């Protein structure tokens, strides 16, 4: 029994010492406050290795609808596919614009001289008098789980997204024009900066790890964390219609490192700094036309 009495005598002393050690040393006191949401971003899970080759398009692929309604002054993204001034963008970025330019600096823009849009897909070719280093188009087939790097101007500001491929979809467009086309679906993994939407990234390139074009970014679903790009066959059709033979280098030749090695944020900055990826400025004279757009972008 004496042992139990000693234990009850020392227990209050031990409690006091723990209390003083915890509260008196403020420099080493652990911070128990919850971090602000924008200060904490969980690291994404590691990529799975690229899997099987992406299957052929099917009319049974999952479908979704986007609405290209009213057209007003807006921004988007384009990227160079020939040094002489030939660019890819999304059709809905330039459709309905009275004047189109590519921003080259503060309050400066290169006028788009000519536009040719695909009649059945969300892709277009632009021509300007001045050119920039062109990005080459990938020849390898797409594979499930492979990464993609989307570069452009979300919400009109420099930004980029990292994603990986999950499958095919059919995109139904309604509004100013109607069409159904095959697209490729990607799940978003990282975004910088943490914008509310990806509006403005549309028309930008989706690039593989070698810095080659594998699609044009055309839509997104914030709720499901999806990004959608044109199918490779759509790019081929557009080039044939426009009688354009793309000539470029991986990453436009502005860096020898791919987006995975350089880091997708630094990589995007390099492409924008050299205007390999440029902001599209769409100006509409008079009031906006048609319904309000409810597109993912």
pLDDT digit string (tens) for 94-124?
999 999 999 999 889 999 999 999 999 999 9
Residue 12 within a domain = no
How would you classify the pairing of strands 99-105 and 147-152? unpaired
Residues with Cβ within 8 Å of 280's Cβ and at least 6 positions away in sequence, in order, are 75, 76, 77, 78, 89, 93, 94, 100, 101, 102, 103, 126, 203
Residue 132 within a domain = yes
Residue 171 within a domain = yes
237 forms bridges with which residues in the sheet? Answer: none
Residue 297 within a domain = no
Q: How do residues 149-172 score in pLDDT, each as one tens digit?
A: 999 999 999 999 999 999 999 999
Residue 220 within a domain = yes
Query: How many beta carbons lie within 10 A of that of residue 249, not counting itself?
Result: 16
Number of domains in the chain: 1
Question: Residue 177: which CATH number?
Answer: 2.40.10.120
How many residues does the structure list for the chain?
297
Task: Answer yes or no: are the C-beta atoms of 95 and 126 closer than 8 Å.
Answer: no
pTM assigned to the model: 0.81
Residue 209 within a domain = yes
Mean pLDDT of the chain: 85
C-alpha to C-alpha distance for 217 and 148, rounded to whole angstroms: 11
> What is the reported pLDDT for 48?
59
Residue 27 within a domain = no
Task: Answer yes or no: are the C-beta atoms of 181 and 171 closer than 8 Å.
Answer: yes
Give the residue-averaged pLDDT of 3-25.
Answer: 47
Residue 16 within a domain = no
The domain in which residue 135 lies consists of: 63-283
């Amino acid at each position: 029994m004496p042992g139990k009495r000693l234990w009850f005598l020392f227990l209050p002393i031990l409690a006091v010492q723990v209390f003083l050690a915890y509260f008196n040393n403020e420099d080493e006191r652990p911070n128990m406050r919850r971090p602000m949401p924008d200060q904490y971003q969980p690291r994404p899970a590691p990529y799975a290795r690229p899997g099987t080759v992406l299957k052929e398009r099917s009319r049974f692929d999952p479908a979704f609808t986007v609405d290209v309604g009213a057209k007003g002054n807006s921004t988007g993204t384009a990227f160079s596919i020939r040094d002489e001034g030939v660019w890819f963008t999304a059709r809905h970025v330039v459709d309905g614009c009275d004047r189109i330019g590519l921003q080259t600096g503060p309050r400066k823009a290169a006028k788009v001289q000519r536009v040719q849009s695909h009649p059945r897909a969300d892709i277009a070719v632009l021509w300007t008098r001045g050119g920039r280093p062109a990005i080459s188009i990938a020849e390898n087939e797409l594979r499930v789980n492979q990464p993609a790097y989307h570069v452009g101007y979300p919400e009109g500001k420099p930004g980029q997204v990292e994603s990986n491929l999950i499958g095919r979809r059919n995109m139904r467009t309604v509004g100013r024009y109607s069409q159904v086309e095959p697209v490729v679906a990607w799940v978003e993994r990282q975004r910088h900066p943490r914008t509310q939407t990806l509006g403005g990234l549309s028309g930008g390139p989706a690039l593989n790890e070698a810095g080659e074009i594998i699609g044009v970014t055309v839509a997104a679903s914030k709720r499901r964390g999806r990004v959608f790009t044109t199918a490779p066959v759509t790019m081929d059709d557009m080039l044939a219609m426009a009688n354009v033979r793309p000539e470029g280098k991986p990453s436009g030749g502005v860096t020898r490192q791919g987006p995975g090695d350089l880091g997708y944020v630094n990589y995007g900055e390099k492409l924008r700094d050299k205007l390999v990826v440029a902001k599209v400025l769409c100006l509409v004279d008079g009031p906006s036309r048609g319904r309000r757009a409810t597109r993912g972008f």
